[in-house]
Every structure is written in structure tokens, then in C-alpha cells.
Chains A and B, each alone.
Chain A
Amino acid sequence: MKPVRFDYARPADLAAAVALGGRGDAVVKFIAGGQSLGPMLNLRLVQPDLLVDITAIAELKRVDQTADALILGSCITHADIEDGRVPDVTGGAMRAVAAGIAYRAVRNRGTVGGSLAHADPSADWISALSALGAQAIVHGARGERRIAVESLMTGVFESGLEPGELLTGVEILRLSPSARWGYYKHCRKTGELAHAIGAYLDDPERGVCRAVIGATGTRPLVFGDAAALFGGGAPGGAIDRGFAERAMAAHGMADAIEQQIHFACLRRAVAQAHRA
């Protein structure tokens, strides 16, 4: 249960980190909180030559607010969000999601950027931020680019980041005061990674209605126009089960029980949003 020997660097700025990350002559891994990479290193499933600790880069802990959005640096932790040490533009949605991730000791180090980059289908941020329509900000040797969080994950543990690219932050759009949000995570033991996730956002003032079925074993299943889920009825009404099931089947989820559990999570998320 000890990692292989590796070298360690702790660059103070982004350019140095990107340069190290792009080194082709060695296996280089970025490390943020280490809460996903640590177990893999200890089990020797990952055997890097060099770990590049990105937590000394001030820019990655930045918090920028504009009139309609919030940018969080990638090294902001789940606990920073849970405790409200960073502003919230989601009416408490992100604070509640953060509080449901793992355990307090993990949340004190695990970061939002690390969670997205790790691309575990069962993790919370990939589903929650997809539902919120957030953007990932990525820096590489060729400069900055943005990727919608919903299209960041390409498969299990695979994100669309190129080798050496660093996720530097996420941009979250401000919800209208009347926006409704629901998030339901199903797991057997409190704090473990999800077996199924339902997330739902209805923000008619901005003309946004989105839903996500997460923890699908691969990329989250995103309904960019979730109004279609309600079979012509008003958002928040009964979900067209056949529609949801066909979408899940097309997403590679063929098992009836899996479909049922994921459907229940989505239904609960919708009910949560439209409660009271």
C-alpha cells in the first residue's frame, strides 16, 4: 500500500505547471487534493515518474464574480463551497451538493477541478455542474479554451483534457431568484460515490430547463431541454417514463433495474425542485 517512488514538483505559476505537464519524457501527473489520485497511487494503479502539485498556484484558488457568473479556481475544495467560504450564485444548490460528497476529511482537501478531471462517472460535480450548465476553463501549451462540463467526460476516468492540459477553473452562471433546483444522489452507504444521480434545474426567467441522469457508468446523460421530459405537460409534472427510458437505453443503460433506479432519482430531483 505504498506508492512507487516518484519525483515531486510544486510550481508557483501556471506556465511552469503546464510546461511540466507537457513533458513527454516521463509519466507526469498533476495532483490537487490527492483524494482520488492518492488511493490509486497507494494501490500502485498509477505509477508516475513525477507528481506536479498544483495547489501552490494562487490563480487556481481564485474566486471571480461578475454580474451573471461566478468563476471558481480548480483548487477550490468541496468544503470551501459547503461552508460558504466562496460566494454562491446557485441559491444554495452547490453548497448542498458539496456537503453530500464523501466525508468531511475528504472534502477538506478534494477539489472541484480534481473531481472533474478525474472523470469518475459516479462523482457528484460532473453531474451537478452539467445540470447547472457550467463551463470548464482549461489551459494548455496552446493557451486557454473552454469546454462545457456536460461534454468534458468522454468515458470512465477519461476527460477531454489533452495531456499536459490543466483545468484552471469552472464558470457557473447565476441562477434567477425564481429558479428551482433538485439533486438526488443514491448510494448505499452515506458518503460513498453514487450508484445513481438525478439533477434538475428549472429557471424559466433565463429560459433554462435542464436535467441530468448521472452515475450511468459513463458520461452523464444530459437533457439540455428538460421540458421534453414532461410529455407536453408543464415542467415539474409527471415525467414521461418511456421517453426517459428510451434516452437511457440509447445511452447504453439497458438494464431494467438500473433504469428504474436512475429514473427514481430523476423523479425525486424534480419533486424536490417543485416542492412548495
Chain B
Amino acid sequence: MTTVSLTINGRAVTAEAEPRMHLADFIRETQTLTGTHLGCEHGVCGACTVLVDGVPVRSCITYAVACSGASVTTVEGLDDDEIGKELRAAFTREHALQCGYCTPGMLMSARDLVVRAPDADEHAIRVAMSGNLCRCTGYVGIVRAIQSVIADRRARGIAAVPGAGRTALGPAGSGHGEAIAARVAAPAVTAAVVSREPAAVSESLADWQPQTRFARSFVVNHAVDAVWDFFADTGAVAVCLPGASVSGDTSARNVAGKMRIKVGPITAEFHGAAEIDRDPLTKSGTIQGSGRDRRSSSATRGVIRYRLLPQGDGATEVELDVGYRLTGPLAQFSRSDLVNDIASRLIAAFAQNVEARLSGTAATAPAAELNAGRLFFSVLAERIKTRLSHLFGRRDG
């Protein structure tokens, strides 16, 4: 717990809060000012917008402790505010709300716009209000209400105030608080409790559709038979894939294992099982697997189809067709363009490691998790060919 002191609607308040408590929860739970609403809690919907040091801020992704000493205004603080009154009258007149969930955030953003906007241009208002979502009204009434307040004030000779008069630099709310030292002891590293998942992929692939699919290929400078034999040993293959490891009998059809992926600040460790089928006639195989990351409670299921194609010069092309589905919080960040990059890096590292192992130049220690974009620019990068890269996954940002 940390003691957080700040000013809310002109009143100095002090309360105990955990550092992880965001400003919206601080306002709602320690001050019972429940006018501030929470919608998405990741900065997208605008319901939680409040004024901090006079300018709008997302209170769901601003931690209360980071605002020590700041001055906060919530929708309750607009009761006697001149612009607040004008906006409420205009919202009422224009039917600018229905359920009212978005309204506190709308009013805070609108108030800021009324202060700053030089004129009541409809397009500019729509752009400026685009960070506040409303599921009921269709926005027409909201835009009209704001337009009328701006037009009216400018007609009364009240000029716009650029930047709402802010002069301080840096994140709004910062710069007031005293320095805070970290607690001395290093927090205990919480040991992940991992239960073994059954080594079986229960559902069949027949009725399963991947969300995203992509195809890649790479070339290994070894003959098809050598590569084919190497692929039979799941343990050896896993060693080549950064972050992957398997347990138990690694020549069996069903294997259990885990895959650790580190992408920037995100670390995920998927524990799961895979089922491997190989067809020596066509030198192709299918690996279907599923896993769960307990930290983020995200889950994935995927299938990798591979095919080995002899090249004229004694080399082998490995064709990969990957399809997967990701659910849970990680899916929020799995824009297909990002996954594409991660896959490229993983496959580049994998190809490099397979080459090294087959040439007998590899260390036997398993590769650490994928941890650096640099991998992508390694020697093998040129040989990675993106084929039929028909990514038909979502690409929502």
C-alpha cells in the first residue's frame, strides 16, 4: 500500500492505494465518486475520461500513485461549472444520450474541446470526439450538442484557449509527487504451478477452423532423407525451436511440452500437448497442438503441416503451412501483422538451428525463448520465402 494524496474536484484527498490501482478505481472506490465509468479498461472507449491538471486523461490506464499531487476533475466536479451546465442543457435538448454509460466521459472530452476548439466545425468535432464510444445514440445528437455550445460561446466572444492553457511538459498528472523508493527486498519470484496437461489432443481437426493461416518455407543444405529422419525426433526438433521443450518419450505420437515466447514486455508460456503424424511416402507431416498460458489465461490451438521437397543441389526445401486460433487476453494483441513478424523470426531461428544441428556444429543446449528481433536479420533471412501469405486473420489495431 502507498499513500496517495491528490485533489479531486477541489477537495484534497488522501487514501491508501496499491500501486496497481488505477485512477478510475481510486476515484470510484476510495471516494465513492461513481460518475466516472469504466468500459474497456484499456484506453479505447473513453468512458473513464477525467480531467487531470485541467486536461482529459484516461483514468483506466493512469495509475493513481502516478498522479500524486495532481488536480483531478470528475463529472461530479462539473456540477457548478459554466461549460458543464451549457453542455448538459445541450445534451438534453439534442437527445445526446440514451443509457448514459458513455456520458460522463463524453462530457469530460466535450468540455476540453469546447475550451480548445477555434470553431464549431462538425468534421473536426467528430475527429476530436472519436476516442469516446457510444453504443446508443449514433453520435448525431452528441455532435450537435457540442457544436451548439462551441458556436454559442464563440458568438458570445469567448475565445478558444489553445492547449486548454496547459504550460507544464510531460504526462498530465506527473511532476507533483515526491520521489518514492522501491521496497528493499526483491519480490519473491512466484513459482508457476504447472500441472501436466494430458498428452492428447482430444478433438479432431475435421470441424476445426483456424483463425489465421500463413505459409512459409525455408531451405536446409542437407538431403531429404537426413532432414526427414531428423524430424522424427520431436525432442531434437524442439531443441531447435526457440522457447520450446518437450517431455516424456519424444519419439511417440503424442507429446507433452511447453513453448515460451517473449515478445517485448510480454512473456507467455504455453503448456500443452501435441499429436504428430508423418507420411513417409510424401515426406510430409502434421503436428496439431493446443496449449494454455496460465499467466494471461490465454489459449491457443494450431496445426502445422510440413512437406519436404528435394532441391536439385542436395538441399531440401521445408514447406510450412501454419494455422492457429488464439483466445484470451493475448488475442487482443495478436494483430496478424505482429504474429507474422514473430513467426518469421521463430522460423528463421529454427531453420538456422536445424542447419547447425544437421551439420553437427550445434551446441546441444536448447535455444532460449525467442528474444530478439535481430534473429530475423541473421544469415538465413534471405532464404526465408514468404509464400501465399494469405493472412485472412483479423488485423484490428
Contacts and interface: CB of A to CB of B under 8 A. Distances in A.
A10 interface: yes
B181 A9 contact: yes
Contact of A31 (B43, B66, B175, B391): B66
B20 interface: yes
Interface string B57-86: 110111101100000000000000000000
A118 B42 contact: no
Interface in A53-110: 53, 55-56, 60-61, 63, 73, 75-77, 79-80, 83-86, 102-106, 108-110
Contacts of B130: 103, 189-191
Contacts of B22: 38, 42
Contacts of B235: none
B170 to A, nearest CB: 4
Contacts of B163: 79, 83-85
A122 B337 contact: yes
A195 B178 CA distance: 40
Nearest to A26: B186
B20 to A, nearest CB: 4
Contacts of A192: 397
Contacts of A79: 55, 163, 166, 172
A118 B63 CA distance: 18
- Choose among B171, B375, B397 the residue with the greatest number of A CB atoms under 10 Å from its CB: B171
Contact of A11 (B43, B132, B179, B344): B179
Interface string A34-56: 11011111111111011111011
B338 A108 contact: no
B338 A25 contact: no
A4 interface: yes
Contacts of A41: 20
B109 A105 contact: yes
Contacts of A31: 63, 66
A33 interface: yes
Contacts of A33: 171
Interface of A is mostly: loop
B281 interface: no
B293 to A, nearest CB: 10
Contact of A158 (B180, B372, B391): B372
A121 B55 contact: no
B46 A156 contact: no
A164 to B, nearest CB: 14
Interface string B165-209: 011011111110111111100110100000000000000000000
Interface string A184-208: 0001011111110000000000000
A154 B371 CA distance: 10
Contacts of B355: none
Contact of B127 (A8, A110, A190): A190
B324 interface: no
Max chain B Cβ within 10 angstroms of own Cβ: one of A29, A45, A122, A191: A45
Nearest to B105: A105
A231 B303 CA distance: 44
B165 to A, nearest CB: 10
A3 B295 CA distance: 11
B169 A63 contact: yes
B183 A7 contact: yes
Contacts, number: 259
A50 B333 contact: no
B13 interface: no
A218 B373 contact: yes
A126 interface: no
B11 interface: no
B42 A44 contact: no
B266 interface: yes
Contact of B264 (A73, A76, A110, A156): A156
A76 B172 CA distance: 10
Given A20-B182, A40-B265, A8 B2 contact: yes
Contact of A45 (B19, B126, B166, B333): B333
B296 A44 contact: yes
B363 to A, nearest CB: 23
Nearest to B126: A190
Contact of B46 (A103, A154, A189, A194): A103
A49 to B, nearest CB: 4
Contacts of A9: 180-182
A254 B373 contact: no
Contacts of A20: 182
Contacts of A25: 186
Interface in A128-184: 153-159
A157 B266 contact: yes
Given A1-B41, A153-B373, A104 B112 contact: yes
14 contacts: A10-B177, A34-B62, A34-B66, A45-B268, A75-B171, A76-B169, A106-B58, A155-B342, A157-B265, A157-B338, A191-B130, A195-B395, A215-B337, A255-B391
Interface of B: 2, 18-20, 22, 25, 41-43, 46, 49, 52, 55-58, 60-63, 65-66, 109, 112-113, 126-128, 130-132, 162-163, 166-167, 169-175, 177-183, 186-187, 189, 263-268, 295-297, 329-330, 332-333, 335, 337-338, 340-342, 344-345, 372-377, 384, 386-387, 389-391, 395, 397
A-B pairs with lowest CB-CB distance, top 4: A155-B373, A103-B131, A157-B264, A38-B61
